[in-house]
């Protein structure tokens, strides 16, 4: 029997998740497993879930589905509750009854990605953007000891869910909500926004110890190019690989072959850059 997993979102054609998970299946000899990308727009997750059968085991979610998923799961992990978002759905079946468990692998993926590239202190973090990924990376920085945050967004009235996630953290976090373009002075700068606005925003950076660019498409982004000359860079592929490894283990029950997954992602990204370069 073929066992299905996949990544859902809109847009989704750029996703490297099928490359990473497919490389993991190949490395471990999981011949019956397949992982595909599926375009699912906002409001469409429930309908997609309704059409799945017992051959399905796991779903990776990207924007705009991470918060929508919280209303559709049967069980949820503490870290997904903390973030108010699930980027991972694990499906299990007993007879014809399906159970959907929600999890958030962005948080452990982000902490691992940061520590892989940077071992310095994270006392103050600035974040560009205020959506579900911003909430997860904020919580990841908090787990690394950060207690002061600048949440810099286009519309400060639309960050209530991210502020609520920060409020659920065990320790008190100091959050200042500002606007994109405000001066950035922080140990860690995280960008969760699309690449085009970054062209003007890099001029607002005054002092940072490390940059975390969560995007990997298109690559390199303006922020990544700036960081490459100035400070250590945590790339979007780093986050993707580490959170995908956690998902892989949740879906398959096997330890993720991290090196093989990373190599496949790097090769695919390099080929993509070569095609556009």
pLDDT tens by residue, 21-52: 999 999 999 999 999 999 999 999 999 999 99
Local confidence band at 188 (pLDDT 50, 70, 90 cut-offs): very high
Indicate whether 1 pLDDT > 90.
Answer: no
Is residue 66 flagged as an active site residue? yes
Is 166 within 8 Å of 194 (Cβ atoms)? no
Average confidence (pLDDT) over 168-174: 97
Closest CA to 59 of 190, 250, 265, 218: 250
Q: Distance (Å, rounded) from C-alpha 128 to C-alpha 122? A: 16
Distance CA(81)–CA(264), nearest Å, equals 32
Phi, psi for residue 190 in degrees, rounded to 5: -110, 130
Residues 61-68, mean pLDDT to the nearest whole number: 96
Instruction: Provide the pLDDT for residue 65.
Output: 97
Residues 188-215: what's their mean pLDDT? Answer: 96
| 277: confidence class by pLDDT, cuts 50, 70, 90 | low
Q: What's the whole-model pTM score?
A: 0.94
Q: Please compute the mean of the pLDDT values over residues 106-112 and round it to a whole number.
A: 98
Among 57, 66, 67, 217, the active-site one is 66
Burial 152-164 (b: 16+ CB within 10 A, else e): bbeeeeebebbee
Q: Is the pLDDT of residue 276 over 90?
A: no
SS (H, E, C) 118-137: CCCCCCEEEEECCCHHHHHH
- DSSP-derived letter for residue 216 is -
The domains located in the chain, with CATH, are 3-104+238-276 (3.40.50.10860), 107-237 (3.40.50.720)
192 pLDDT above the threshold of 70: yes
Percent of the chain with pLDDT over 90: 95
Q: What is the pLDDT of residue 273?
A: 86
Compute the average pLDDT of residues 106-120.
97
């Amino acid at each position: 029997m073929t066992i299905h997993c996949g990544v859902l979102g809109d847009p989704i054609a750029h996703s490297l998740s099928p490359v990473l998970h497919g490389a993991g299946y190949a490395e471990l000899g999981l011949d019956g497993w397949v992982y595909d990308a599926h375009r699912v727009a906002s409001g469409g997750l429930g309908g997609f879930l309704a059409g799945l059968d017992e051959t399905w085991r796991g779903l990776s979610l990207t924007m705009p589905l991470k918060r929508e998923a919280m209303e559709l799961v049967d069980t949820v992990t503490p870290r997904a509750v903390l973030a108010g978002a699930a980027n991972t759905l694990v499906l299990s079946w007993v007879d014809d009854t399906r159970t959907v468990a929600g999890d958030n692998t962005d948080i452990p993926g982000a902490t691992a990605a940061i520590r892989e590239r940077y071992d310095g202190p994270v006392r103050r973090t600035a974040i560009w953007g205020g959506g579900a990924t911003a909430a997860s990376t904020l919580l990841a920085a908090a787990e690394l000891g950060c207690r002061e945050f600048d949440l810099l967004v286009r519309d400060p009235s639309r960050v209530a869910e991210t502020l609520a996630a920060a409020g659920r953290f065990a320790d008190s976090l100091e959050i200042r909500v500002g606007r994109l373009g405000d001066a950035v002075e922080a140990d860690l700068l995280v960008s969760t926004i699309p690449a085009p606005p970054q062209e003007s925003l890099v001029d607002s950076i005054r002092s940072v110890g490390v940059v975390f660019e969560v995007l990997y498409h298109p690559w390199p982004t303006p922020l990544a190019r700036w960081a490459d000359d100035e400070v250590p860079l945590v790339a979007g592929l780093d986050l993707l690989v580490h959170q995908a490894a956690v998902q892989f283990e949740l879906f398959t029950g096997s330890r993720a072959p991290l090196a093989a997954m990373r190599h496949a992602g790097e090769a695919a990204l390099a080929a993509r850059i070569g095609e556009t370069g």
